[in-house]
Amino acid sequence: MAWLKEIRWHGRGGQGVVTAGKLLAESALEAGQYFQAFPDYGPERSGAPIRAFTRLSDGPITLHNQIEEPDVVIVLDPTLLGNVPVTSGLKPDGVLLVNTSESPEAIRARLKYAEGRVVTVDASRIAIDELGKEITNTPMLGAFARATGLFAVAEIVAQTRQRFAKKFAPELVEANVRAVERAAKELREA
């Protein structure tokens, strides 16, 4: 029987949520997996809360609906915590990955989330340090790889280089690579 992992992304318009979901899907393609990646937004303006979804599997995916019971929830914007029900439907053994300087224990307590794993990484600080601006999608992919084990960090690095080389200067591509690698090293878990 094929395995299936469902990921729900939370962020704000303009933060790279959709790009991160697509980058993860392209990593799955390179690894010979099946995937779906799709956003959930309408005509919202930049800064409005949005969701995106990614499904990964080693077999064909026949589902064509939004993800209601994700295995992993990734929150790119910590201001959504408490304002958007990010843990809604998260499986009991799921992973909540949050971009924040707060500890996993503090996030668990604030959200009253007793099940699953809580993983945090200060992707905002990493992005500012490495990229010069707060675009957290690539650091969150590095943290995702390490937190879930679904991909090696090296696979995310390779996909980042391949995809970003088409549209960014080599210095910016390598800054994103450093952000991926740092986030994988700096994540914290409770």
pLDDT at 24: 85
pLDDT at 105: 97
Whole-angstrom Cα distance, residue 1 to residue 65? 21
Q: In what order do the strands lie in the sheet with 34-40?
A: 34-40, 49-57, 4-12, 72-75, 95-99, 117-121, 188-189
pTM flag (> 0.85) = yes
pLDDT tens profile 144-160: 999 999 989 999 999 89
Sign of the CA dihedral with 138 first, then 143, 149, and 153 last: positive
Mean per-residue pLDDT, 100-116: 95
Q: Which domains does the chain have, with CATH numbers?
A: 4-189 (3.40.920.10)
Element (H, E) at 118: strand 117-121
Those residues whose C-beta lies under 8 Å from the C-beta of residue 150, and which sit 6 or more positions away, are 5, 56, 144
Please state, rounded to an integer, the average pLDDT across all residues of the chain: 91
